[in-house]
């Protein structure tokens, strides 16, 4: 039980998270469980009612939100974007950095008046933040207008938890800290009919010293290859054009299976499915083996984009981060990848201001960025996460130094991104048209095989098609182009 004195209401089903428990990695086999049918009394509970899910963080979270939406729609709820209309508002949260958490607390505070005005609204907090004890305690103490808290291992329990929240009038908290099972066949409402996320594994066993994910997401659990293959086949049958395979560390796929089958084997099987584009994220350099490079070099429906976080360019910092590779090993891996796939698009994640990082060590990060020439990078200032090993390391770098390093890194990366995009000037690229540009309704936007965003003038009927676009004006983050030919025109020529 929580160690704080809660005068406040909370349900008898209260299960608090426990970070010590979360560290344990059980030896027992992962259970694969089918999603249970929605209890009868909940099957139509949402008829005529609306839900709103606000999602923070990574693609894994976005995909979890699609599952929550699927479960809610199975109970009859309909989606809305308006808080005033919603009967349920769920925050699917991220715990990776503190500022993401602050935003959620801000939003919860802001919604207090809405809850007072409309007490029937169910306000829920889900995802990674509830996996932290201190977050649950803070909500119990200071955000008593919240009705429901559940963790990353409890999504399939949403119908039961919602029932308790609706009928018990008590705060319902259920956050399992155990490693978690794999729940198959959960309902999902995918964001669009073109691109789909597909989980291939859950959790992470890497325990990078700064990272909270191995605690919030549990141990590595791979889905069975046949379940993944069946899901991708079904998506292809439904007309999806692209799948992105998701895992915190996709290269560790299969390590926990009792068959000799890894990520390269999975990709080799999936590429035979008639789906135009396959992507994956995120890769860990340690497990990126030669066989995987060999399979990716087949191209076809395997896109030549690899997101390969390096975090720091200095071997001593990498050691303190427990990344399990050196600067030289990372560079060697990049060399191998570039040799096999010369036009590969490489993107990365970088942390600046890790505890004790000196100016010289930061310079190693800058020089690695230059040496590799990433197409783009997500850059972060180190954020201490309670319960992780790095949080107790001495951190004496002043905040303004960290900010200044981040700025220098971003300036450098922007120059490189611009240069990389410049290489595409006047080239004709294949674009999957995804929709209308956010900034100009006459402009369509889509992505290249390398995942670069392209904007060009075209008819909205092209959405969902592959077209050829000539790049006219490369910019730092996007490419402006001109339509050259559509899928149909290409087919006409072929005939």
Q: In the sheet that 50-55 helps form, which strands lie side by side, from edge to edge? A: 78-79, 50-55, 88-93, 122-127, 148-150, 172-174
Q: Which is nearer to ligand 5AD, 253 or 380 (CB)?
A: 380
d(CA 111, CA 121): 11
By the 10 Å C-beta count (0-12 exposed, 13-18 middle, 19+ buried), 276 is classed as middle
Q: Interaction with ligand 5AD in 188-227: which residues (CB under 6 A)?
A: 210-211
- Choose, by CB under 6 A, the member of 172, 211, 390, 471 that binds ligand SF4: 211
251, containing H or E segment: none
- Cα dihedral 401, 407, 412, 417 in deg (nearest 10): 150
Q: Is residue 169 exposed (0-12), middle (13-18) or buried (19+ Cβ within 10 Å)?
A: exposed
Separation of alpha carbons 85 and 117, rounded Å: 12
Q: What is the smallest separation between the CB atom of 388 and ligand 5AD, expressed in angstroms?
A: 7
Cα maximum dimension of the chain? 75
Q: Does 13 bind ligand SF4 (CB under 6 A)?
A: no
Q: How many residues bind ligand 5AD, per CB under 6 A?
A: 12
Shortest Cβ distance from residue 292 to ligand SF4 (Å)? 16
Q: Which residue stretch of 72-80, 168-176, 200-208, 433-441 sits at the interface with ligand SF4 (rule: CB under 6 A)?
A: 200-208
Instruction: Please pick, from the candidates 52, 201, 204, 264, the single residue that binds ligand SF4 as defined by CB under 6 A.
Output: 204
Least distance to ligand 5AD, CB of residue 325, Å:
14
- The least distance separating ligand SF4 from the CB of residue 207, rounded to whole angstroms, comes to 6
Q: Which residues of 190-218 are buried (b: 16+ CB within 10 A; e: fewer)?
A: beeebbbbbbbbbbbbbebbbbbbbbbbb
Contact between 86 and ligand SF4 (CB under 6 A)? no
The answer to whether the CB of 321 falls within 8 A of the CB of 361 is: no
Residue with tokens 């974007």: 81
For residue 311, the 8-state DSSP code is B
Smaller CB separation from ligand 5AD, 210 or 280: 210
Interaction mask 356-385, ligand 5AD, x per CB under 6 A: ------------------------x-xx-x
Least separation in angstroms between residue 248's CB and ligand SF4 is 4
Residue 208 makes contact with ligand SF4 by CB under 6 A: yes
Summarize as ranges the residues that interact with ligand SF4 (CB under 6 A).
204, 206-208, 211, 213-214, 248-249, 284
Summarize as ranges the residues that interact with ligand 5AD (CB under 6 A).
96-97, 210-211, 309, 311, 349, 351, 380, 382-383, 385
């Amino acid at each position: 039980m929580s160690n704080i004195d809660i005068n406040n209401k909370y349900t008898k089903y209260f299960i608090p998270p426990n970070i010590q428990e979360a560290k344990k990695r059980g030896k027992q086999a992962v259970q694969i469980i089918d999603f249970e049918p929605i209890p009868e009394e909940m099957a139509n509970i949402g008829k005529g009612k609306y839900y709103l899910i606000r999602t923070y963080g990574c693609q894994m979270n976005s995909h979890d939100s699609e599952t929550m939406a699927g479960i809610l729609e199975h109970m009859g709820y309909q989606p809305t974007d308006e808080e005033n209309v919603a009967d349920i508002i769920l925050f699917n949260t991220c715990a990776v950095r503190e500022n993401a958490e602050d935003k959620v607390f801000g939003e919860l505070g802001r919604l207090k008046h809405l809850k007072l005005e409309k007490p029937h609204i169910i306000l829920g907090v889900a995802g990674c933040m509830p996996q932290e004890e201190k977050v649950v305690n803070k909500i119990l103490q200071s955000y008593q207008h919240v009705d429901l808290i559940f963790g990353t291992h409890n999504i399939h329990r949403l119908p039961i938890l919602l029932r308790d929240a609706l009928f018990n009038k008590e705060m319902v908290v259920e956050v399992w800290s155990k490693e978690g099972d794999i729940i198959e066949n959960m309902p999902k409402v995918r964001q669009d009919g073109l691109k789909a996320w597909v989980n291939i594994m859950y959790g992470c066993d890497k325990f990078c010293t700064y990272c909270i994910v191995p605690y919030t997401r549990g141990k590595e659990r791979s889905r069975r290859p046949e379940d993944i293959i069946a899901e991708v086949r079904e998506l292809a049958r439904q007309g999806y054009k692209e799948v992105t395979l998701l895992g915190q560390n996709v290269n560790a796929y299969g390590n926990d299976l009792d068959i000799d089958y890894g990520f390269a084997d999975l990709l080799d099987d999936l590429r035979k499915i008639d789906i135009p584009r396959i992507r994956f994220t995120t890769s860990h350099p340690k497990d990126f083996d030669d066989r995987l490079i060999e399979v990716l070099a087949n191209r076809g429906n395997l896109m030549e984009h690899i997101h390969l976080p390096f975090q720091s360019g200095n071997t001593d910092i990498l050691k303190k981060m427990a990344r399990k590779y050196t600067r030289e090993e990372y560079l060697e891996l990049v060399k191998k990848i570039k040799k096999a796939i010369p036009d590969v698009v490489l993107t990365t994640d970088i942390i600046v201001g890790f505890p004790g990082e000196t100016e010289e060590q930061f310079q190693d990060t800058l020089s690695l960025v230059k040496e590799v020439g990433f197409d783009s990078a997500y850059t972060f200032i180190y954020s201490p996460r309670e319960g992780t090993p790095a949080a107790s390391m001495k951190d004496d770098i002043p905040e303004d130094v960290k900010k200044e390093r981040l700025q220098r890194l971003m300036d450098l990366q922007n120059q490189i991104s611009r240069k990389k995009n410049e290489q595409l000037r006047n080239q004709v690229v294949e674009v999957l048209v995804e929709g209308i540009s956010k900034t100009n309704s006459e402009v369509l936007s889509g992505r290249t095989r390398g995942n670069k965003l392209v904007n060009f003038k075209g008819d909205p009927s092209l959405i969902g098609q592959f077209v050829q676009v000539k790049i006219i004006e490369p910019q730092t983050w996007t490419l402006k182009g001109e339509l050259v030919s559509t899928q149909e025109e290409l087919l006409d020529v072929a005939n």
